[in-house]
Amino acid sequence: MTLWNGSYPFYPGANVCFPFDTSRAVIVTIFLTVLVTFIIILPGIRGRGRLFLFLRLVLGLFVGAVILTVQFTRDWESGWVQANTSYKSFSRVQVSADIGLHIGLAGLNVTLRGNPVRQINETIDYNEHFPWSFGADYDRSYSEGLHKGLPSPILYVAEKFSTQSPCAVHGQYRIAGHYASLTLWLAFCTWLLSNLLFSMSILLYGGRMLLLTAALILFSLLFFFTARNTPKCPIQFGPVSLRTAYGESFWLTLATGLLCLFLGLGILILNALQPQKLKLLFSLDKSSEGGAWDKPCLSAEPGCSAQDVLMVPLGQLCQVTVTKL
């Protein structure tokens, strides 16, 4: 194969990456729309109930948005390395590039970015996805990458996770991702049930469902943890190796699980020790807003009987006469 105009003629150009993750953008847009809608109606709520409702709304939407978003993110585990490596197979031409590996629940992404981006008369900026979700064939995606003539570093990293690789990590990551995704979907369902119970003022069972949500989120992390801590083959690029660590999605999921755990425990403890304060947090304690309703009522006119005059609180004393037909 010969060079034509400084490039290899039978290799396609670099894929142009979409500027943002559409799944994450859709989820964030939906939850922000719900938040803005409730913020618009907040001025119609009086007293401290407005603040408590705002806090419950922000925390609830945050938990739901995180549970959905991390299903589609690809940075549960990630790592970068800068190396001088061959760019194409059967070629001695080397490039200086940043190589990244990003593992999610449904597959992995391999990133290759030139340093600088423009080298050997070509733009080196690749981001290839290799899925292992239900209905996806990882080996087929890898074979398609071979047929397209993807750069050697991308194929080298992707080959480490194939079913034919002696590293034998494909099955572990695939099964761990499936179980983690399933538990997160269950956590999303229990989160919906907890919000439904809170809206129906069933606080005790709502707190229990929140604890179940926390348990499911933490179990999803445990499933991914088992795959992360299995022995892996080294991904070597000359004298340097590509090492990975837990990514942003993992730590965000952990923080959300702990948040649900603390909120659920707080609701159960308040329900057992200070039920009136718990009712105040959920705007169910009407005594603070209208304490006069707990006072004894007098008739509006001493000479009137109970059948002729309605009973009203002392703080809102007014005469209401009923005309007999």
The predicted model scores a pTM of 0.78
Distance CA 244, CA 78 (A): 5
CA distances from 150 to 13, 237, 239, 278, 313 (A): 9, 17, 23, 59, 81
Cβ-Cβ contacts under 8 Å for 313 (sequence gap 6 or more): 292, 293, 295, 297
Domain boundaries, the chain: 22-69+175-214+248-279, 77-169, 296-325
Residue count of the chain, please give it.
325
Asked if 180 and 254 touch (Cβ cutoff 8 Å), the reply is no
User: Roughly how many angstroms between the first and final C-alpha of the chain, as a whole number?
Assistant: 107
In this model, does residue 287 exceed pLDDT 80? no
CA distances from 252 to 66, 67, 145, 207, 259 (A): 8, 10, 32, 21, 10
In this model, does residue 206 exceed pLDDT 60? yes
In this model, does residue 26 exceed pLDDT 70? yes
Q: What angle do CA 264, 269, 272 make, to 5 degrees?
A: 130
**What local confidence, expressed as pLDDT, does residue 46 receive?**
72
**What local confidence, expressed as pLDDT, does residue 321 receive?**
52
Distance CA 289, CA 285 (A): 8
In this model, does residue 290 exceed pLDDT 70? no
152-199 residue pLDDT tens:
999 999 999 988 888 888 888 999 999 999 999 999 999 999 999 998
Distance CA 80, CA 83 (A): 10
Residue 134 vs residue 188, higher pLDDT: 188
**What local confidence, expressed as pLDDT, does residue 2 receive?**
41
Mean pLDDT for all residues in the chain: 81
Structure letter (DSSP) for residue 151:
-
233-257 residue pLDDT tens:
888 888 899 999 999 999 999 999 9
